[in-house]
Amino acid sequence: MHHRSVMFVAVGTAALTLFTGAAAAAGPQHLVPQAATSGTLVIDTAFDLATADPGHMFEFTGQVVDRALYSTLLTYSDDNLVLQPQLASSYSVSDGGDRYTFTLNPKAVFSDAKPVTAADVVFSFQRLQNLQGNPSFLLDGITASALGTNKVVLSTKAPNAAIPEIVTNPALGVLEASVVEAHGGTDSANAATADKAENWLNAHSAGSGPYEMSEWDLNGPVKLTANPDYWGPKPRFQTVVVQNAQPEQQKLDVETGSAQLALDLSPAQAQGITGAKVDNLASTFTVYTSLNTDPAISPATANPKIREAIRDAIDYQALVHLAGEGAEQAASLIPGGFDGSLPAGDDLHQDLAEAKALVAQSGIKDPQITISFADDDPVNGLQLGDIAALLQSNLQAAGIQVKLLGQPVTTATELRRAGKAQMIVNYWGPDYPDANDYLPFVPGGEIAEQVHWSASDAPSVLATANAAATAPTLGQHIALWQKTMKEINASGPIIPLVQPAQVLVTADSISTAYSNPAWRIDVASVK
């Protein structure tokens, strides 16, 4: 996936966890807000908006919108970003780790003041699964059922320690079943064709979140109004406007007071900004390079000695410097702070002398490789072509000749998915903040297969990863994922490079704003 996000600390679950406490214009428009004290918050972001229906939504901008409209079973605290209650006031885990029982908060109500029930949660989850849309995979292998009116049970055939993190995703926001059904929605097995509620849900909302939909436009702006019946802490702003702006415009809008938050500036673009605060943190995007193991595609990258030489030739610290203030080296494919990630001491290091020796041992004279990348798909302002150029310099210093192949993202993606790229520079962002979201990188996984790293090529790595994904306890889950990441770092054809910086720019009138992997910015927590 490709979620944009910033620094995050993931905290897993114990066997029993208890929580205490409790349509319009044809192009972009810019609305000039009143003063911050007037109750209007304006957020600038580059739109990739497709829908506001949680059952279909899986885009950056949609996450911002749906996080405000819909509550989820669990959420994250704002200051230290650990799991917190939202619709569920508590949850328990079976001894085998294959059954999670969530108890709903009796205070939780929808925007029409009707209580949120277990039946609403089951309807929302089954609808998401049966719509077969972009976010449906989040609930793969998970069965939702109601236990009375206020308990929801999520069952799996094998243990899944990621469930508490999965249910925080805005796509799993709970809808009021009766309202959605009244406007053509269904959770039936044929919902992919029978459900007709999306258009209505784009212009309205059927949630229990702090805001309701007021105005909707795919090109922006989207306007949200505070929900008078919200059962949680009241947000500071009565109105939130999310408007479509490219980074250059975002910087100008924040400086002139036309917006209070800008979400898409790079570290370089944010330099010298006035009238605003700039936070540079490591994002949870992982930029990586992968090497094709098929000799028909590349005799060089298929050679284990050449792959090892590439791992040693890379100047990882130069990549961090290139990525800008706030960036960090990716010690593993799982970003730092997630359960299962590796500490900085386990990261890879450049050893150019060893790289040269390995090239000589490879038996390939004058090895040549083409690095493929998307030249129009930067990650947090970082151009993949700049990373590829640095890798080219590193590899050529080790005796490997490199050509660069930059292509539009659609073309580069087609080449990569077809398994025909020799060496790839790409990035991955979490669909949910747990190590299980990185299963595509293990042998036989979706990303691994793009370089022909199949299950039979590294059965021990695959076995460890599968054990990690289905571990019944958090401790086993973490330890096995760390072992998997060490094995991939040591011999796998996929090499983690850098976690780019994520920049959050807030006007001086804003005292508090947080962002995280699941929904970028929680507008209700902005103060």
Q: 43: which residues sit within 8 A by CB, 6+ positions away? A: 64, 240, 241, 242, 243, 259, 260, 261, 262, 263, 521, 523
**CA dihedral defined by 302, 308, 313, 315, rounded to 10 degrees?**
110
Q: Which residue has the tokens 């469930």?
A: 163
- Residue range 58-70, pLDDT digits in tens: 998 999 999 999 9
Q: What does R_g of the chain's alpha carbons equal in angstroms?
A: 23
- Please provide the average confidence, as pLDDT, over all residues in the chain: 91
Domain-wise residue ranges, the chain? 16-280+503-521, 286-499
User: Taking 70 as the threshold, does the pLDDT of residue 458 lie above it?
Assistant: yes
**Which two structure tokens, joined as six digits, stand for 65?**
């919108």
Q: What residue type is assigned to position 248 of the chain?
A: E
Instruction: Measure the CA dihedral 168/171/174/179, to 10°.
Output: 170
What b/e readout covers 405-429, taking b as 16+ CB neighbours within 10 angstroms? Answer: bbbeeeebbebbeeeebbbbbbbbb
pLDDT of residue 302: 98
Residue with tokens 């044929």: 190
Cβ contact 520:263 at 8 Å: yes
Q: What are 81-125's pLDDT values in tens digits?
A: 689 999 999 999 999 999 999 999 999 999 999 999 999 999 999
Residue 38, pLDDT above cutoff 80? no
Is the link from the previous residue into 159 a cis peptide, with omega within 30 of 0? no
Write out pLDDT tens, residues 254-312. Answer: 999 999 999 999 898 998 899 899 998 889 999 999 999 999 999 999 999 999 999 99
Q: What is the CATH number of domain 286-499?
A: 3.10.105.10
Cβ atoms within 10 Å, residue 399: 20
Partnered with residue 18 across adjacent β-strands are 90
Give the model confidence (pLDDT) of 200-246 as tens digits.
Answer: 999 999 999 999 999 999 999 999 999 999 999 999 999 999 999 99
Give residue 241's Cα distance to chain centre: 23
Beta strands in 227-302 (DSSP E): 239-244, 261-262, 276-282, 286-291
Predicted local distance difference test score (pLDDT) of residue 190: 98
Which residues are within 8 A (CB) of 312 and not within 5 positions of it... i.e. 6 or more apart? Answer: 350, 351, 352, 354, 355, 358, 398
What is the tens place of the pLDDT at every residue in 353-397?
Answer: 999 999 999 999 999 999 999 999 888 889 999 999 999 999 999
What is the pLDDT, as a whole number, of residue 519?
Answer: 83
| Domain 16-280+503-521, architecture per CATH | 3-Layer(aba) Sandwich (3.40)
**C-beta separation of 76 from 69 below 8 A:** no
The pLDDT value recorded for residue 25 is 32
Distance CA 258, CA 235 (A): 20
Positive or negative: CA dihedral 83, 282, 524, 1: negative
Cis ω on the peptide bond leading into residue 335 (within 30° of 0)?
Answer: no
pTM here? 0.85
